[in-house]
Amino acid sequence: MNIEAIQTLRRETGAGLADCRAALAEHDGDMAKAISSLLQKGARTAERKAERTAADGLALARMYGRRAVLLEVNTQTDFVVQNALFRTQVETIAEAIALHLPDDVAALQRIRLPQHGMTVGELVQKMVITYGENIVIRRFATLSGSMPYAYMHQDGKIGVILSLTGPDSIGPAQWESVARELAMQIAAMKPLFVSRDDLGAKALQDVARQIEADIAADESLGQKPAEIRTRAATGRLEKYFRANALLEQSWIRDDAKSVRQMLAAMNAPGESSIRPDRFYRYERGEGIESEAVFCPLFGTIRRQ
């Protein structure tokens, strides 16, 4: 049997050598029929594997021109994530996002990749066949503007993209330095929004109500005078903002300073401050319950 034909079929479908050899033999060397057969088989395989929990993966953050892209692709194990081809394929998907700006994952799956001769969805199906794991495009985000920035932490465990605003006089080196500090802060401290002003009235009301409920349930405060409970609620709300508002968090390099104070120190006297405008932070597998598996050496373990 023609070795080149087997290699071509494997390259086109991601199937193993034995499957490629069998498909060519079954269809008397007809490449088109062999490809169709393997893709159909791959679709069935992907459907079965979709039932498996994919809680590992890669949070890829990249710049494409003046656009920052953040993409989370989930796998079942870290072994696949360390594969260079897998990372190249995820990069291809991220490039498609930057170029086409799809509205959601379903629209992303339909984008055609001319260099691969298939859609993003078909590429993911091919990846499932190649690596033998459930692989899922979970979510993505993009930011553009005058000062976007992308940052990856711990080789893709966490990805961050953000955009900054500031005066035109700021040089590239200065804003990149500020952007990196902010990105590391976001990666480490998990803020939910830039400042308290970004928390809408409805969300603020929900937070305040939760704090009031917590105080009412607190035996040490529930029976205290209203004035004391009000002070306690105000203090807890301030604590909430210090934990979740980026500008009010303690700076990771010097917790005696807030991020707002750090930014003020990094700007030249008399200049308008560089300020974070928006950000996204993805942590791979965040919120996905890991799957219990059996390891012959250690027994039942849970993938993290």
Query: What residue spans of the chain are helical by DSSP H?
Result: 3-13, 17-26, 31-49, 78-81, 84-100, 105-110, 120-131, 172-189, 201-217, 226-244, 259-266
Q: Are residues 15 and 89 in the same domain?
A: no
Q: Are residues 27 and 119 in the same domain?
A: no
| Residue 217 within a domain | no
| Residue 167 within a domain | yes
Q: Are residues 125 and 154 in the same domain?
A: yes
| Residue 241 within a domain | no
| Residue 132 within a domain | yes
Angle between helices 84-100 and 120-131 (to 10 degrees): 170
Q: Are residues 81 and 151 in the same domain?
A: yes
| Residue 83 within a domain | yes
With a cut of 80, say whether residue 61 has pLDDT above it.
Answer: yes
pLDDT tens digits, one per residue of 153-201: 999 999 999 999 988 777 888 889 999 999 999 999 999 999 999 998 9
Question: Domain of 81?
Answer: 56-192+282-302
Confidence band for 266, pLDDT divided at 50, 70 and 90? confident
Q: Are residues 96 and 28 in the same domain?
A: no
| Neighbouring C-beta atoms of residue 288, cutoff 10 Å | 16
Backbone phi, psi, residue 268, to 5°: -65, 145
Q: Give the domain CATH number at 39.
A: 1.10.8.10
Q: Are residues 297 and 167 in the same domain?
A: yes
Confidence band for 293, pLDDT divided at 50, 70 and 90? very low
Q: Are residues 26 and 157 in the same domain?
A: no
pLDDT tens digits, one per residue of 209-252: 999 899 888 888 767 788 888 899 999 999 999 999 999 999 99
Q: Are residues 113 and 152 in the same domain?
A: yes
| Residue 109 within a domain | yes
Q: What is the pTM of this model?
A: 0.79
| Residue 197 within a domain | no
The helices-and-strands tally (H runs, E runs) of the chain is 11, 12
Q: Are residues 160 and 294 in the same domain?
A: yes
Element (H, E) at 142: strand 136-144
Confidence band for 300, pLDDT divided at 50, 70 and 90? very low
> Over the chain, what is the mean pLDDT?
86
Q: Are residues 124 and 187 in the same domain?
A: yes
Percent of the chain with pLDDT over 70: 86
Number of domains in the chain: 2
Average of per-residue pLDDT across 105-131:
94
What phi-psi label fits residue 132: left (phi over 0), alpha (psi between -120 and 50 degrees) or beta?
left
Q: Are residues 36 and 70 in the same domain?
A: no
182: its two tokens? 């902010």
Q: Give the domain CATH number at 108.
A: 3.30.479.20
Q: Are residues 168 and 298 in the same domain?
A: yes
Amino acid 290: pLDDT:
64
| Residue 19 within a domain | yes
Backbone phi, psi, residue 233, to 5°: -65, -40
Q: What is the DSSP letter of 273?
A: P
